[in-house]
Structure 1
């Protein structure tokens, strides 16, 4: 059996991604691993904002959302611990950049053994037009990636 010591679970703060977080915590519980919760601030996505918007206030709001999202990773691990008495250590981080690139970079830099990601399971034209962070991570990562379907 493969043992995992460090499991990365990227989050975007959506309700659906909680299934992936719960799965990562479950695997961490079985293996005695640490869960790393990661939020990537995709600043490119906000480049089109009107210049009268104050970048400082936008940045502040984005960081608040990011901190809330990674805090939820810790909350889910704590809830699991309260249920069965098994504590799962959690580390969290917020980074900036292109999500797929930063997820792979973080996983490699932190010597993660597994990446657990939510995926909407889009196929065909939707994936072609919208892209898929999970697919990009799978293609670029030397670290195993488990995808968990999330609800729309």
Structure 2
């Protein structure tokens, strides 16, 4: 095992995921890359439809390049700080897109030997309707996945 890709997000449990994955990498002498995926930036904004012909509520933050840049800069800073928390040799990858498919695509490109992810607790209804990103990765991966339990 030479390369371990660790997926992190803004959830506080990502610290445990990153530290657990990094510890594993140290034990086997593997290179580490932290990956964070920014969902489509239009999901960070508010898009109200017109209501009874009134369009003043139509505002799409995705159209404002400053907001996109700010979101990306915050994510870059988050990743850089997370990497430095572990080791200055840890690399990072920031991707915009759908989370599970982006993780899988980059894992293949980077030739990762293992993907490390955390399990977040979601409501039963949310899991039923949307699934979880971890489940989507598990269903489609060709690369082994190490799941870090983070539920208290």
TM interval, short-chain normalised: 0.7 to 0.9
Given the alignment of the two structures, is residue 11 of structure 1 paired with residue 20 of structure 2, yes or no?
no
Larger radius of gyration: 2
Where 1:108 maps in the other structure, the secondary structure is helix
Provide the C-alpha distance between the structure 2 equivalents of 1:89 and 1:143, rounded to a whole number of angstroms: 23
Contact 1:21 1:76 in 2 (8 A): no
**Alignment equivalent of 1:73, drawn from 62, 82, 88:** 82
Normalized against structure 1, the TM-score is what?
Answer: 0.81
Of the structure 1 ranges 36-45 and 116-125, higher mean CA displacement relative to structure 2 is found in 116-125
Equivalent residue pairs, number: 140
Provide the C-alpha distance between the structure 2 equivalents of 1:51 and 1:114, rounded to a whole number of angstroms: 41
List alignment gaps of at least 5 residues for structure 1.
79-87
RMSD: 2.2
Normalized against structure 2, the TM-score is what?
Answer: 0.81
Where 2:37 maps in the other structure, the secondary structure is strand
Matching residue of 2:67? 58
Matching residue of 1:85? none
Provide the C-alpha distance between the structure 2 equivalents of 1:65 and 1:138, rounded to a whole number of angstroms: 28
List alignment gaps of at least 5 residues for structure 2.
48-57
Given the alignment of the two structures, is residue 107 of structure 1 paired with residue 99 of structure 2, yes or no?
no
Given the alignment of the two structures, is residue 24 of structure 1 paired with residue 24 of structure 2, yes or no?
no
Matching residue of 1:45? 43
Residue 122 (structure 1) shift: 3.6
Deviations 1:71-113 (A, max 9, x none): 13312322xxxxxxxxx73111111110000000000000000
Residue 123 (structure 1) shift: 6.4
